[in-house]
Structures are given as C-alpha cells and as structure tokens.
C-alpha cells in the first residue's frame, strides 16, 4: 500500500465532477487500499478520489474510533437512493481544508447504492456520523466541498486563509 499526497483547497481539481467507474478491477481495488491508508494516516474518516487527483467516482469511509473498531467501506459509483427528511447537524472537517471546521446540516439517514472492491453491487442504510460522512464524500465527486454548504462570507473567509497558507508554503519551498 502507499500513502498518496492530498490536494488542498483552493484547487481547480477539487471542483471537477468525477466520472463513473466502468468496472472494479485490481487497479481500482489497490487505489482504494491506498486511499484508506492515506486516510488513516492523515487521520480522517473519509476520502474521495478527487482529493488525491483522481477524478473517478470512488470514496472510502471509516468512522471507527480506534484501530480495533475499524470498519472500512470502499465505495465505487456511490449513489444516494433515499435520504430522510429529518436533518442532523455535525461539525465537519475535510482533509482538503486542513484546520477548518464548521457545522453542516444534512439528512440524518440515507440509503446508498454502490459497487464494492469485488465489483459486487451493495446497498447500505446508514445514519449518524456514517451517513454524514458518506454524503460529504459523495459531494466531493460533484466538486462540492463542505464550505459550499456555508454562507459565502464564511466560505470565502476559510478559502482566503487556505490560499494564504499555500502561498506561505510555496514561498518557504523556494
């Protein structure tokens, strides 16, 4: 397995719409293992392929709190087939927006269809943090970041700060 570099905002690559995967082969399965390793190391609870520069509809999620409780999901072409009217509020973060957090409201329960690492169709009903996390990652496949759910004032403030950090890092690397 390999740890991959994570793209941070603002970046055009994070705004692209990802393409569906035709079939899950060993290359895609390996990519998902690498994404999980990258996510665990970060550490984070979810990662979408565009965050590592691959514009394909692939996400990995694991909301297990400890290494013993790990329960990874590898999802290809995930699709929300149902969402509850009931909403819940979570303070979200994102590995592509390091050190920034904000409350985002999303459906509390979801039903998601996807293809797993063995190229088998799966369905999952999720609630709570897992549901929030899956919705956050599916957003990435549409080029949507959690800050896009905030007011433009809050979003621009966070993106400006991230831009500044990028400039400082680029200057330090020269």
Give the active site residues.
137
Q: Which is nearer to Ni ion, 50 or 76 (CB)?
A: 50
Q: How far apart are CA 144 and CA 50, in angstroms?
A: 11
CA distances from 166 to 68, 127, 159, 162 (A): 35, 35, 10, 6
Q: Give the DSSP letter of residue 7.
A: P
| Sole window of 21-29, 94-102, 109-117, 151-159 interacting with Ni ion (rule: CB under 5 A) | 94-102
Residue number with CB closer to Ni ion (31 or 97): 97
DSSP output for 113-173: EEE-TTS-EEEEEEEHHHHHHHHHHHHHHTT--GGGGS-HHHHHHHHHHHHHHHHHHHHHH
Compute how many residues bind Ni ion; rule: CB under 5 A.
Answer: 1
Name the minimum Å distance from CB 171 to Ni ion.
Answer: 26
What span, in angstroms and rounded, lies between the C-alpha atoms of 103 and 18?
A: 25
Tell which one of 6, 28, 49, 94 touches Ni ion (CB under 5 A). 94
Q: How far is the CB of 172 from Ni ion (least distance, A)?
A: 25
Q: How far is the CB of 94 from Ni ion (least distance, A)?
A: 3
Give the Cα-Cα-Cα angle 4, 66, 57 (nearest 5 degrees): 40
Decide if residue 59 touches Ni ion (CB under 5 A): no
The C-alpha atoms of residue 136 and residue 138 are separated, in whole angstroms, by: 6
CB of 96 vs Ni ion, minimal distance in Å:
5
Nearer to Ni ion, 27 or 96 (CB): 96
Contact 84, 108 (CB under 8 A): yes
Q: Which is nearer to Ni ion, 39 or 115 (CB)?
A: 39
Piece of 12-20, 24-32, 89-97, 123-131 that binds Ni ion (CB under 5 A):
89-97
| Interacting residues toward Ni ion by CB under 5 A | 94
């Amino acid at each position: 397995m390999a740890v991959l570099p994570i793209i941070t905002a603002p970046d055009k690559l994070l705004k692209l719409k990802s393409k569906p995967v035709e079939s899950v082969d060993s290359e895609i399965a390996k990519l998902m293992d690498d994404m999980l390793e990258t996510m665990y190391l970060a550490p984070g609870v979810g990662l979408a392929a565009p965050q590592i520069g691959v514009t394909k509809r692939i996400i990995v999620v694991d909301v297990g709190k400890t290494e013993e409780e790990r329960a990874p999901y590898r999802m290809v072409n995930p699709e929300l087939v149902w969402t509850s009217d009931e909403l819940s509020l979570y303070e979200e973060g994102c590995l592509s927006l390091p050190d920034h957090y904000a409350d985002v409201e999303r459906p509390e329960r979801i039903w998601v269809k996807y293809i797993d690492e063995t190229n088998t169709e799966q369905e999952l009903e999720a609630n709570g943090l897992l549901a929030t996390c899956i919705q956050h990652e599916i957003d990435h496949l549409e080029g949507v970041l959690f800050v896009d759910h905030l007011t433009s004032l809050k979003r621009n403030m966070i993106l400006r700060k991230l831009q500044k950090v990028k400039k400082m890092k680029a200057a330090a690397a020269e």
